[in-house]
Amino acid sequence: MTTDTVTYVQENEFDAVLSEDKVVVVDFTATWCGPCRLVSPLMDQLADEYKGRVKVVKVDVDNNKPLFKRFGLRSIPAVLIFKDGELTEKIVGVSPYEQFSAAVEKLV
């Protein structure tokens, strides 16, 4: 299993990422966030399972606060799923892998 499948994006490249790929999964995370560490391997798994069909990225909320606020997020981990640039799903907190994969499956 590779660990470099999920890359970090910054606020200034966020909209470009959304427009490049049909389905984009964004994991809002932070280095100090314990529950985020539980979600991280699930994002890697998702990126592997849907390789070539879905782009999975992470956003460090400490470095990208305006982006965090833009989507009305108050807590992390928060996983937002976009299709064609539109927000279709928001999963806040630690969830089982099936919840993430089911949300993605509906869009691909």
The residues annotated with a catalytic role in the active site are: 33, 36
Query: What is the spatial distance between Cα 35 and Cα 18, in angstroms, rounded to a whole number?
Result: 25
Tokens of 5: 């499948």
What is the residue whose two structure tokens read 């809002």?
A: 28
84: left (phi over 0), alpha (psi -120 to 50) or beta: left
Please answer whether residues 104 and 92 qualify as being in contact, where contact means their C-beta atoms are separated by less than 8 angstroms. Answer: no
